[in-house]
Amino acid sequence: MKKDFLAVSDYSADELNDLIDLAIDLKTEYFKHGNPPLLKGKVLGMIFNKPSLRTRISFDMAMRHLGGDALFISPNEIGLGKRESIADIARVLSGYVQGIMARVFEHDHVLELAKWSAVPVINGLSDYNHPCQAMADILTIKENYGKLQGLNVTFIGDGNNVAVSLMHICAKLGLNFAIANPEGYDISEKAVELAHKFTTTSKSQIKFYRDPHEAVIGADVIYTDTWTSMGQEEETQKREKVFPPYQVNQKLLSEANPEVIVLHCLPAHRGQEITDVVADGPHSRLFPQAHNRLHAQKAIVLQLMQG
């Protein structure tokens, strides 16, 4: 197993499946009688350059469930690469805590932290990817269907960091991935090339569409995300004109498989990328998915920090 958790693309299919199985075991164990304090005496330092609800609380509670502690470090306390160099921050924190989670704007910042840190570094989100979210997504899909291989996952919206990690984990684990997005909002070519490499082993199919109605035909999972991510606020008005045809609504849902489930990494802008009827309807798994961040990340911190 790797020292750090920076991208699902860094891990083999077997390693990812082992982490998912561990998450399922930890979740089952927690609801039966609680998890043993396997991380007692361990502290996770949590660097936040971006605000968060799910990432902060889920990592904090993951450490508590396993007997450890989490330390919140705000942007005011650390200006990554501004007040102090990233290399120095990594080396200082390595002497205080047993693991670092960083939620940053620039992906290079989390890579730099990992390069200089003597303790494991976990990518809590960057502008390139969101690997912890992808683990929770796959956990949710597996709980719902009892399998992963051959399922059809369709992402509707911006080819953003969430889409990158979802595409990569699907390509690793044998799920078919499709995305429908407006022109000019494609997943990066580099990320797509990487995904195609993984499909040579997994036999997953990756497809790209402009028409969301075409993309959801045969979908077992429909996934959407906000049209404007943090750091893109100046593009909000422009995006609000481009993305309305990509709303996940009841009509779009009716064109997928009858048992389709709907996922969203949250926060949701209801009435934009998703309607209330869908978000709160029988196909929605938005809140089990959010809760699974806790259990997926519990597996990650245990795998990296135990011992």
Q: Please name the helix (run of DSSP H) or strand (run of DSSP E) that holds residue 76, with its range, or none.
A: none
Which residues are known to be catalytic? 103, 130, 133, 225, 265, 293
Task: Give the span between the Cα atoms of 109 and 125, in whole angstroms.
Answer: 11
Question: What number of other Cβ atoms are within 10 A of residue 115's Cβ?
Answer: 12
Question: If you ran DSSP here, which 8-state letter would residue 155 be given?
Answer: E
Q: What angle do CA 63, 307, 15 make, to 5 degrees?
A: 80
- Asked whether the beta carbons of 24 and 299 are under 8 A apart, the reply is no
Tokens of 171: 């390509």
Whether the CA torsion 93, 96, 98, 101 is positive or negative: it is negative
Q: Strand 261-264 vs strand 221-224: parallel, antiparallel, or unpaired?
A: parallel
Give the strands of the sheet with 99-103, arranged side by side: 69-73, 43-48, 99-103, 121-125
Alpha helices in 6-152 (DSSP H): 13-33, 54-65, 86-94, 107-116, 131-145
Alpha helices in 122-206 (DSSP H): 131-145, 161-173, 189-202
Tokens of 18: 């082992």
Q: Which amino acid is at 84?
A: E
